[in-house]
Structure 1
């Protein structure tokens, strides 16, 4: 049944309008427009002033030290889709990128309707594509002060599991890695807390997990783990922007660590907040899910020819 969205008077506060807008997300298919508008989330952005940068500015009349504010905020870099049917990416405009090809035709879950047997694996394809709303998030950040540039390219296919069939469908070679064979290593959630969803390794498309949302989330985490690292045994484009003077891009994402990344659910519904996994499950009727992957950037405005150093308010010099 469609969601009826109330009209919002212009004088209402922006946060209320944003919440109502995102709450109406399930009534439409996931497309580029809805993905772009989803970035208007102060919760996901998490803009903070974190320190001071020092620059050396030299002119014909001499040199002096100038300062600029160091800021930190998250940027949506990727739309990571996790879905059962090959070629059925929930992001409608990007579905043709992952059409079935030789060696990656099939899809679906190896599950049974028998409620007493839930130990068969689920399978998910995963696509990691450059988020189209990074510029909009940067504009939102600039309202608070200086904003950092994203290291990701919009619409760039950083990972398509159909092109990585040897690793994604057969687990070669990661099924033999120590992280895959030893319990308690690289787990999403924690056994002690009763919320362990699955292992990051092997980073493939199969997982024994009775909950469809949780299985899809583990696959998204696995793909993000690959994309944000160099030299992995997968077919992909690394998203590893290089640091430079006054610009500190994020490192690889690490499961259970909110300082390295956050996820924003986009499908089956758009949520206005970000979280790491484990999070509250939202089941999809067709086995298709999508998240925005947000990662933290730090930067400061250039105020001279030479970067000297920066001081963080919470301690540390870089």
Structure 2
């Protein structure tokens, strides 16, 4: 009887623990359903493409419309505790290891302390909602392909230890040493969220949500460029006739990419950092955003692409 009681109590405790974890966790089904956002999609017809179509009887010029819209390429997680990505199904991709353990703030989170040294891990993983997004976006017309592959890890900070935890070599880059250069926000507007460089996990910021956003911006900055001194793989597509993929992400510039908050609150709209919206603080210091990036394309209507004209 006593052993049965202990088993029942252990089972109840485990159930409560799972319930508590799930209330703060982000799962794949929630991420997939979040792609149905007209605000983030921002679908537009922007021009006309010209194609040369030839058969044995001769050649003609055909046209197709040129469209531009955003695609959810990746989920970018920024979180305090190593191994605890808020997206529960991918946690096993970035467990603690001998060179990347622990995490969190430099001091305790007391109200009178206003100079906290924050640390965040970051993971950039391919967005899992491509199929649902295609069905949703195709109702607007012809759609463009994004660069992301579902569940593909593009950056896991636990594997990028030297750069992410020690800021080597970016601590001596001009962008890291020059005030006002490559910053999220601005001192002049009294809305400085943090510096993009060095692109690692440490920064000073009293607001935990802003700290998480800056670290997410850093991770997005890395993966949307080639040849960076980090352990990662580029989240980039190659241009081809009739297809203009997204380029490098730039802070504060929506024409290079924008962010949809997934946790701690699920948003149906996209923003750039910094923004004036409500900032909900995550109880465990874990945040995640979908990174939407702009693509333009037109349907192939011939063998040779002659060019395109954009509307004013």
**TM-score, normalization by structure 2:** 0.90
1:220 maps onto 2:221 in alignment: no
Computing the radius of gyration over CA atoms, which structure comes out larger, 1 or 2? Answer: 2
Q: Report whether the alignment pairs 1:294 with 2:297.
A: no
1:278 aligns with 2:278: no
| Alignment-derived partner of residue 47 in structure 1 | 43
8 Å Cα contact 2:24-2:264 kept in structure 1: no
1:144 to 140, 145, 170: 140
Q: Deviations over 1:131-154 (max 9, x none)?
A: 001232222221111011122111
The answer to whether the 8 A contact 1:80-1:220 is kept is: yes
Alignment of 1:175-194 (within 5 A): 175-194=171-190
Matched with 2:243 is 247
Q: Which residue of 2 aligns with 1:19?
A: none
Q: Deviations over 1:178-212 (max 9, x none)?
A: 11011000010121111110010000100000000
Aligned partner (choices 78, 102, 116) of residue 74 of structure 2: 78
The alpha-carbon deviation at position 119 of structure 1 amounts to 1.8
Say whether the 8 Å CA contact 1:111–1:118 is kept in structure 2: no
Select which of 108, 115, 120 maps to 1:119.
115
Counterpart residue number, 1:87 = 83
**Aligned to 1:236, which of 216, 232, 236?**
232
Residue 55 of structure 1 aligns to a residue whose secondary structure is: strand
- TM (norm. structure 1) is 0.89
Name the Cα RMSD after superposition: 1.2
Q: 1:183 to 1:144 in 2, by over 3 A?
A: same
Deviation (angstroms), 1:120: 3.1
- Conserved? CA contact 2:51–2:302, under 8 Å: yes
Q: Is contact 1:43-1:274 (8 Å) kept?
A: yes
1:138 touches 1:148 (CA, 8 Å); kept in 2? no
Displacement, 1:28?
A: 7.0
1:114 Cα deviation from its structure 2 partner = 4.4
Paired with 1:186 and 1:134, the residues of 2 have a C-alpha distance of: 31
The 3 A distance-change label for structure 1 pair 222 and 28 is closer
Query: Structure 1 residues 114, 283: closer, same or farther in 2, change over 3 A?
Result: closer
Unaligned stretches of 5+ in structure 2?
A: 1-21
